[in-house]
Structure 1
Amino acid sequence: MTEILSPVGAQGSAGSTSTERVVDHPAWPMLKDAVETLRPWQAKDGSIDLAAEGAPSAAAVRQEVDHAIAAIGELAPLLPHNAAYHEALVSDLFRWADNGYGVPDFLDSLLAFQPARQRADGLQHLVLFPMYTQNGNPDRNFEAVVLRMVWPDWLAELERTRYDNPLFCGITFEDFTAGYDTNSAVLFPETIAVREAPERFTWGGIFCDREAARFRRVAGAAIETLGIEIPQEFRDMLGDQERCQQAFVLWDMVHDRTHSHGDLPFDPFMIKQRQPFWMYGLEELRCDLTAFREAVKLETEGYRQARDVQYAVLFDRMFRFPVTGERARNYDGLGGQLLFAYLHKHEVVRWTDNTLHIDWERAPKVTNELCGEIEKLYRDGIDRPKLVHWLAAYDLVSTYLAPHPGSVWAKGPDALDLDKPPRKLVDDVLPDEFPLSMFYEALAKKLRTVIASTKGITAAREAPVAA
């Protein structure tokens, strides 16, 4: 069997990296300072009300905009592949200033930014947009980010031959402004302030370095807290940030494309709609378990990253997702709870003598069986009305997770007002329809401080705690 590895820093086939780091140039802190000065002046929609009490003067705002434009002008020559974007960005900044700092419209620069067209490993990008940061800042403030593309040759070949995903960008942080000093690990075009949504988005970025650093810290703490015995290869993985990043970029690429692949119900999940949050939980879990299943296949072909993906999916899903964030409609947490409960029911995980035992040999097979159950739900869904499909999904989840004792949905269709349209019946879903088990309640208390410490984490900023 051939072991397929990617050397750290290897170049992709679609371009070359910049020789000078943007963050080392004196214009980068100048740009950061201008953005950090502008951000507190902005309202939720990104505008600045110069007439509000305590507002800055128009001259003060213009000075910071001019500083930002000057800094971009100095940094742009380092990034010739971004020339069209930086030119449009400067025009959008000038227009925002000339129009009195109203709601920003950066559609022109968004359309000019096309990172997925040149996915070269290590290629730098300087990004500035008025935007909210998912799982970070909900307001459309300006954010400046310097990032690098993660696109090693082995990943590029898998995308070209097996997992076509032309919009996906694996990325890492170089530096960022305050909106990313949060839990946000994505850069998505739909978060950017524009006058109208483009006909289609052409890229999406996921920061695999933040995901990897966060995983290493939380997984290490969970292993220590629960007394889990892990294989040496997993222990080695947790001690290697670059190795974890390669696992996450593969996981993310396969997960992302799965949203539009498979036997989807007629009403696609990628269309915005109002539905019970367990439906989103099942969709996210389906995509993760598909990545897991593909990783099992790739492992037999010699991809070391594939075995690492399996460890990452299991431990991130079971030990971080359920105990992270608020409980209200926490669909990612629900997916993690379901995976743990399924593996527990099938005796892959056992909590005995205050120690968690994992049957590593059976874990791949049983995890793939859960993926099969969800896929069957989807195949059958095309022949069901929407409400019947939702109820079938509820039955699947409640087979393994106990619903809240006050749940109306748990009582079945006879308890629901079926004269209402399905979207109105979503109001009867409890914010925490499937509460944490006693095991997870205890684990949440043990890991609370560790999880909080991962806010803003990157490989460069903080060394994760390895198991």
Structure 2
Amino acid sequence: MTEILVQDAVVAAISIADRVVDHPAWPRLKNAVEEIRGWQSKDGSIDLDADDAPTRAGAETVLGQVADAVEELSPLLPHDAEYHRALVADLRKWADGAFGVPDFLDSLLAFQPAASRADGLQHLVVFPMYTQNGNPDRNLEAVVLRMVWPEWLAELERTRYDNPLFCGITFEDFTSGYDTNSAVLFPETIAVREAPERFTWGGIFCDREAARFRAVTTAAVDILGLELPADIEEMVEDQQRCQEAFVLWDMVHDRTHSHGDLPFDPFMIKQRQPFWMYGLEELRCDLTAFKEAVHLEADGVAQGRDVQYAVLFDRMFRFPVTGERVRNYDGLGGQLLFAYLHKHDVVRWTDNTLKIDWERAPQVTNQLCGEIEQLYRDGIDRPKLVHWFAAYELVSTYLAPHPGSRWAKGPDALDLTQPPRKLVDDVLPDEFPLSMFYEALAKKLKNVIASTKGITAERTRNVEAAPGAAA
């Protein structure tokens, strides 16, 4: 009963809490962080001997502005009081150490957003970190976010998709590292002296994912002449519906990494593997979310149908043509999904128009999920290299390998006296190039995709007017 009362008090506080970004201390904090970012090296340290470096006293003054702003804002966020105290201590410790490689382990351990997943709850987060798909350097970043945890999602997590570490979140405001394509807040990106024994949370910005999805899907549908069912057309036009689809998709995807017949470390952190293995793992998790969404639709969960089409359209339209082609495992997964559906006559590109068999799409998409799951089950009994080749065979059944590929020629073309991890060097950077269809689509969508950098629900760029948006 005490726990329920505390939770109710937290939720009640949300409705009366001021927005952190409206407080005058927030722009001061943000500006100070931006100034510090300009001084930092790749590892997060500040070389005070560099020609363009500040004096130590100057750096301490600006860092003090960050600490002071955190202390000024912290009363708005009583649920983060312990974290903010630890954060200020870590900031001051960094200054005391002459701004060497930062270590924010203590404040990371104090930050526990998954412990209070109340819908709308604000957090002020400051860490030296890299932003995945954004800034590769460990710069100081500040972000204000809100938790996305409506009752319908909390009920699904309690009853069907247990994922106590997952945090659906949206942006309020952020520093430069998030004015990028990054849509995640992960603890493993933060600068610490040693990795914790286990991470206790992971956040995904569903507002950025939804806004980007809407922009790219709208352009792709127009370019391809695709006719959408009325309810899906309404979904693409509705930011809130899309956010709900993505937060559910993300929650199921995230837990799938540790569920199922897994022949290897599901996150593959300590293993060097060919990039198609990463591609299959990410696609397996997405297709599992798709399969669950089919069940949810049958059970009357409104978001179930939306998740299905979010997975299909994001995977087929955005993933294959986003980012560099070097080891682009998400792009590979999108290519594979499209090719599989095309091979099974669910999608047809005829007369320069894309047509989708909406009735068969769920069945055939689930069929691909089943083939990947069978690959995994069989992989438990295979040596690593044999499993890699079996996965390659699955992918190459639907996607043409590069004509110069050694892997495509089979085991006899590789030096099998080497350990498997060395054979990864023989994988081409773009082992499965784009098809002619995707080469053409990439040219049409590139400006729209580029214009979604830094996009959020409230910070939507005018992507419809981007050159080439409807070329």
Which of 324, 327, 331 is 1:326 aligned to?
324
Report how far residue 57 of structure 1 moved: 1.1
In 2: Cα distance, 1:143 partner to 1:464 partner: 26
Query: Which residue of structure 2 aligns with residue 66 of structure 1?
Result: 64
User: In structure 1, what is the Cα distance between the partners aligned to 2:265 and 2:209?
Assistant: 30
* Greater CA drift, 266-275 or 436-445: 266-275
Partner residue of 1:388 out of 386, 389, 397: 386
Q: Shift of residue 159 of structure 1? A: 0.6
Q: Report what 2:422 is aligned to.
A: 424
- Is residue 452–residue 461 contact of structure 2 (8 Å, CA) maintained in 1? no
Could you say which residue in structure 2 is the equivalent of 1:377?
Answer: 375
- In 1: Cα distance, 2:52 partner to 2:291 partner: 56
2:302 is aligned to 304
> Looking at both structures, which has the greater relative contact order when contacts are Cα pairs under 8 Å and sequence separation is at least 6?
1
The counterpart of 1:449, out of the listed 437, 447, 451, is 447
Tell me which of 77, 85, 88 is aligned to 2:86: 88
Residue segments in structure 1 that go unaligned for 5+ positions in a row: 1-11
Structure 1 Cα separation of the partners of residues 23 and 316 of structure 2: 42
1:257-272 aligned at under 5 Å gives the runs 257-272=255-270
Deviation at 1:270, TM superposition (A): 4.1
Aligned counterparts of 2:236 and 2:447: Cα–Cα separation in 1 = 19
Question: What amino acid does structure 2 have at the position aligned with 1:284?
Answer: E
2:156 alignment counterpart:
158
Structure 2 CA distance for aligned equivalents of residues 22 and 267 of structure 1: 40
Which range moved further: 320-329 or 264-273? 264-273
Cα distance in 2 between the residues matched to 1:72 and 1:27:
8
**What is the CA–CA distance in structure 1 between the aligned matches of 2:242 and 2:407, rounded to whole Å?**
40
Which amino acid in 2 is paired with 1:36? E
Query: 1: CA distance between counterparts of 2:372 and 2:411?
Result: 21
Cα deviations across residues 110-160 of structure 1 (Å, max 9, x unaligned)? 000000000000000000000000000100000000000000001001111
The RMSD of aligned alpha carbons is: 1.3
SS at match of 1:320: helix
Judge conservation of contact 1:44–1:139 (CA < 8 Å) in 2.
Answer: yes
Give SS of 1:71's match: helix
State how far apart, in whole Å, the 1-side matches of 2:293 and 2:462 are. Answer: 25
By how many angstroms is 1:463 displaced? 5.8
Cα deviation, residue 464, structure 1: 6.7
User: Contact 1:295–1:306 (CA<8 Å) still a contact in 2?
Assistant: yes
Structure 2 residue matching 1:159: 3-state secondary structure? helix
Name the CA distance, whole Å, in 2 between partners of 1:142 and 1:271. 24
Provide the C-alpha distance between the structure 2 equivalents of 1:186 and 1:266, rounded to a whole number of angstroms: 24
Equivalent in the alignment of 2:467 = none
In the superposition, relative to structure 1, how do residues 13 and 397 fare at CA in structure 2: closer, same or farther (>3 Å)?
farther
Query: 1:13 touches 1:153 (CA, 8 Å); kept in 2?
Result: no
Kindly tell me: are residues 13 and 383 of structure 1, through their superposed partners in 2, closer, same or farther at Cα, counting changes over 3 Å? farther
Structure 1, 61-70 or 274-283: larger mean CA deviation: 61-70
Q: How many residues align?
A: 456
Q: Which runs of 5 or more residues in structure 2 are unaligned?
A: 1-6, 465-469
Distance in 1 between residues matched to 2:189 and 2:267, nearest whole Å: 19
Q: Decide whether the 8 Å contact of 1:256 with 1:287 is kept in 2.
A: yes
8 Å CA contact 2:130, 2:139 repeated in 1:
yes
Query: Partners of 2:236 and 2:341 in 1: how far apart?
Result: 22
Counterparts of 2:459 and 2:266, CA distance in 1: 39
- State TM-score, norm by structure 1: 0.96
- Residue 349 of structure 2 corresponds to 351
When residues 192 and 305 of structure 1 are mapped into structure 2, their CA distance, relative to the original with a 3 A threshold, is same
Report the Cα distance in structure 1 between the residues aligned to 2:9 and 2:442, rounded to whole angstroms: 44
TM-score under structure 2 length normalisation: 0.95
Using the alignment, how far apart are the partners of 1:149 and 1:20 within structure 2?
15
1:213–1:464 CA contact under 8 A, matched in 2: no
Aligned to 1:197: 195
Matched residue SS, 2:38: helix
User: Whole-Å Cα distance in 1 between the matches of residues 109 and 63 of structure 2?
Assistant: 21
TM-fit CA distance, 1:269:
3.9
1:295 positional shift: 0.1
CA distance in 2, matches of 1:464, 1:240: 16
Is contact 1:206-1:252 (8 Å) kept? Answer: yes
Corresponding residue for 1:32?
A: 30
Q: Is 2:180 the counterpart of 1:182? A: yes
Aligned match of 1:273 in 271, 274, 282? 271
CA contact (8 A) 1:296 1:310 kept: yes
Structure 1 segments of 4+ aligned residues over 2 angstroms from their partners: 12-15, 266-272, 463-467
SS of residue matched to 1:435: coil
Q: What is the rounded CA distance, in whole Å, between the counterparts of 2:267 and 2:9 in structure 1?
A: 32
Which residue number corresponds to residue 19 of structure 1? 17
Measured in 2, the distance between the counterparts of 1:420 and 1:396 equals 24
AA of the residue aligned to 2:151: D
Shift of 1:304: 1.3
Shift of 1:14: 8.7
Whole-angstrom distance in 2 between the partners of 1:124 and 1:111: 18
Distance 2:348 2:239 in 1: 29
1:432–1:14 CA distance, 2 compared to 1 (3 A):
farther
Match of 1:292 in 2: 290
Contact 2:256 2:288 in 1 (8 A): yes
| Amino acid corresponding to residue 427 of structure 1 in structure 2 | D
In structure 2, how many angstroms separate the alpha carbons of the residues matched to 1:334 and 1:119? 34
* Aligned 1:168-179 pairs, distance under 5 A: 168-179=166-177
Q: Which residue of 2 aligns with 1:366?
A: 364
Which amino acid letter does the alignment assign opposite residue 278 of structure 1?
W
- The one of 336, 339, 346 aligned to 2:337: 339
